Amino acid sequence: MFNKLFGRKTYKKNTANEQKGLVKDECIPSHIAIIMDGNGRWAKKRAMPRIKGHHEGMNTVKKVTRYASKIGVQVLTLYAFSTENWKRPKTEVEFLMSLPGQFLQSFLPELMELNIRVQMIGDKAVLPAHTQKALDAAMEATKDNTGLILNFAMNYGSRDEIVRAMKTMMAEVQAGTLTMEEITEERITDYLMTAHLPEPDLLIRTSGEVRLSNFMLWQLAYTEFWFTETLWPDFDEACLQEAVDVYQSRNRRYGGLKGEGTE
């Protein structure tokens, strides 16, 4: 039923060797955004604590990052911690705040080798000092890399982002440096945390959930969505390939008619 509702094709999973050459070079999504969901359920199914699922999910991030870089994706944005996630149990939040340090320390040499640049969006100021330090160190170390941008959404909420953008714009209007006539869709985009990035071409959400959860609401206006029942720790290169295959089969019209080539 899930597959029928969302037009999802089912492909046989391939090994890493079989995957080689299967992704078409044309129409590779420039920017893929992923809502990484299902870590807790993955752990519960195995009678493990939730933090074990988050740890396993970290390994999935490494696999997906490598493969995205390999096939030519320019930006990979991962929804790592939302502004609402602070409501979770204290022990779980503390573990989640420790993951950037663990992940970046172990993965940084490979990120450098793969020419991957680390960035983040979200309110970094309220993150624990050790989390900020890990993110800052990785961003500084990789700032001159020119390959894939690995963009973490940490303490990020789209409504918060839009409110911040509106406040900045209103302050500039009051100061006389911005006029009402200059406020356009393009200008609003310039005030968002993603102003320096292309808007996502493809959004992936794992674990069977089919909502956006306050993620990039402005930026996803014309993004292609792909939902999978696969829990994030079980997501792998073949799953990403499947999502890209489906994306490549779609006709992005941006409000126009099929075959016109414009939106």
Does 53 appear as a known binding residue? no
Does 50 appear as a known binding residue? yes
Does 17 appear as a known binding residue? no
Does 168 appear as a known binding residue? no
Is 25 designated active site?
A: no
Is 214 designated active site?
A: no
Does 84 appear as a known binding residue? yes
CB 218 within 8 A of CB 162: yes
Does 256 appear as a known binding residue? no
Task: Identify which of 67, 40, 57 has the alpha carbon closest to the alpha carbon of residue 102.
Answer: 57
Does 38 appear as a known binding residue? yes
What b/e readout covers 129-157, taking b as 16+ CB neighbours within 10 angstroms?
eebbebbebbeebbeebeebbbbbbbbbb
Does 212 appear as a known binding residue? yes
Does 252 appear as a known binding residue? no
Does 259 appear as a known binding residue? no
Does 41 appear as a known binding residue? yes
The catalytic position among 3, 14, 17, 37 is 37
The Cα 186–Cα 27 span in angstroms is 24
Does 250 appear as a known binding residue? no
CB 211 within 8 A of CB 38: no
The catalytic position among 3, 14, 59, 85 is 85
Does 187 appear as a known binding residue? no
Does 66 appear as a known binding residue? no
Does 251 appear as a known binding residue? no
The Cα 187–Cα 42 span in angstroms is 42
Binding residues: 37-42, 50, 54, 82-84, 86, 88, 205, 211-213, 224
Binding residues for substrate: 38-42, 50, 54, 82-84, 86, 88, 205, 211-213
Binding residues for Mg(2+): 37, 224
Catalytic residues, which ones? 37, 85
